[in-house]
Structure 1
């Protein structure tokens, strides 16, 4: 008998309230952990609030390092969820910032692209988009990369508390229309706020549902 939506939501709540530990940082593919557990990867532009969202999702203040310096995350950072291990969260390098040297940006892009294309245990990517700005061309580039790699992804809006509800609704609708044109985009758009906690429970449930598929 399959679990109900309420059962999965409660299981997700308990899972994210339990043990979650930093595993390792992988600057290159050969440093990735053995593919023994499902993986959920976070992608997003620098300053989109990725570290803050991971911390909110996991009920931790400092699990992921938030920084005022764009592009501080230069590696694939792995976090183990559950004891015994249920799945792993993967914090990917931020993209689309001008401050980093071009060769560094190119290297990070190759790392992300190779990871997305070659990781059989990758269940879903979460593409984070700033609610105030909507989709930008660099986001679309990553969406196309995920489409080409046949990696299913959710579009997750961050900082939803920073704009008026009417503007947020317009942004969600615009993104939903555009996402419908992308074969790997999941139809569910997830607005969130790391500060208020809005949408965090729904995101936890979506993550667990992806792991279970």
Structure 2
């Protein structure tokens, strides 16, 4: 029996290389062909998704960071590697209503159509603010992912704002929220974009996923 390969360095190389914006789409019919493996990042507005994506890719402005929730209002595609090996998809934040009604109404349709129509979507990394835990809107999104039979992995953000003594209980509560979720990946990433905590492990996990392990 061989040891499990260490994907730490492949993960670092994957995200430290070229990462270029490819396309932004607001309608499922306008999206690029699914000709490369994809991973997507989703979560409630203001969960720290932009900060995490910037830190994950060793950049400061890949994804826009704002104090105003709801700035990502379309599916934004980025290609990793030269030549491209993987697409990273930044999904619209859910749960924020201070945008036009027409645009807000289109988000669930866009997200649902994307999840059900991307044959090469490997996994959706679903971000949850560790300070707040899994809420009703998160559970509704999990339900959509389960029904769409799309693999997803929970990523707890803002780890640096959780006391050390509270981290294991926070993880345990998240595990419990996923217990009966058929499409949920069993591992939970616990991250801090501010302190670069948990990012090396997350990159390695994505490299492992891309390698089919």
When the two structures are superposed, what TM-score results if normalisation uses the length of structure 2? 0.95
* TM-superposed deviation, 1:63: 0.5
CA distance in 2, matches of 1:15, 1:4: 19
CA distance in 2, matches of 1:98, 1:107: 12
CA distance in 2, matches of 1:57, 1:3: 27
More moved, 186-195 vs 96-105: 96-105
CA distance in 1, matches of 2:208, 2:2: 12
CA distance in 1, matches of 2:161, 2:170: 13
* TM-superposed deviation, 1:2: 8.4
Write the mapping of 1:32-181 to structure 2, written as runs, cut at 5 A. Answer: 32-181=31-180
1:133-164 alpha-carbon deviations (Å, 9 max, x no partner): 00010000110100000100110001010110
CA distance in 2, matches of 1:3, 1:101: 53
| Cα RMSD for the two superposed structures | 1.5
Q: Which runs of 4+ in 1 moved over 3 A?
A: 1-5
Describe the shift of the 1:54–1:2 C-alpha distance in structure 2 as closer, same or farther (beyond 3 A). Answer: farther
CA distance in 2, matches of 1:34, 1:71: 26
User: Are 2:49 and 2:127, in contact at CA under 8 Å, matched by a contact in 1?
Assistant: yes
When the two structures are superposed, what TM-score results if normalisation uses the length of structure 1? 0.95
1:5 aligns with 5
Structure 2: runs of 5 or more not aligned: none
CA distance in 1, matches of 2:152, 2:209: 10
SS at match of 1:205: helix
User: Are 1:16 and 1:81, in contact at CA under 8 Å, matched by a contact in 2?
Assistant: yes
CA distance in 2, matches of 1:2, 1:55: 35
User: Are 1:153 and 1:186, in contact at CA under 8 Å, matched by a contact in 2?
Assistant: yes
1:26-58 alpha-carbon deviations (Å, 9 max, x no partner): 111122111110000001000000000000000
2:184 aligns with 185
User: Are 1:95 and 1:105, in contact at CA under 8 Å, matched by a contact in 2?
Assistant: no
CA distance in 2, matches of 1:143, 1:129: 11
CA distance in 1, matches of 2:69, 2:85: 31
User: Are 2:134 and 2:177, in contact at CA under 8 Å, matched by a contact in 1?
Assistant: no
